[in-house]
Amino acid sequence: MTFLLQPLQHILSTRETSSIVELNGRRCIIDKQRYPVNGDTVLIDMSGMYEWAMIMIHPRRLITDDGAFLMDDLLEDIAVVGVVTHEITTMHEDDRPTI
d(CA 2, CA 13): 20
pLDDT of residue 8: 66
Facing residues of 46 across strands?
Answer: 49, 78
Q: Cα Rg for the chain, rounded, in angstroms?
A: 16
Q: What angle do CA 9, 89, 67 make, to 5 degrees?
A: 110
- Condensed to tens digits (0 to 9), the pLDDT of residues 66-88 reads 999 988 888 888 999 999 999 98
d(CA 88, CA 86): 7
- Condensed to tens digits (0 to 9), the pLDDT of residues 1-29 reads 555 566 666 667 777 788 889 999 899 99
pLDDT of residue 96: 66
**Which alpha helices (H) appear in the chain, and where do they start and end?**
8-11
Please state the domain extents for the chain.
Answer: 14-88
pLDDT of residue 71: 86
- Condensed to tens digits (0 to 9), the pLDDT of residues 30-63 reads 999 999 999 999 999 998 999 999 999 888 899 9
pTM score of the predicted model: 0.79
> Architecture of 14-88 per CATH?
Ribbon (2.10)
Residue 78 main-chain phi, psi, to 5 deg: -115, 135
Residue 7 main-chain phi, psi, to 5 deg: -60, 150
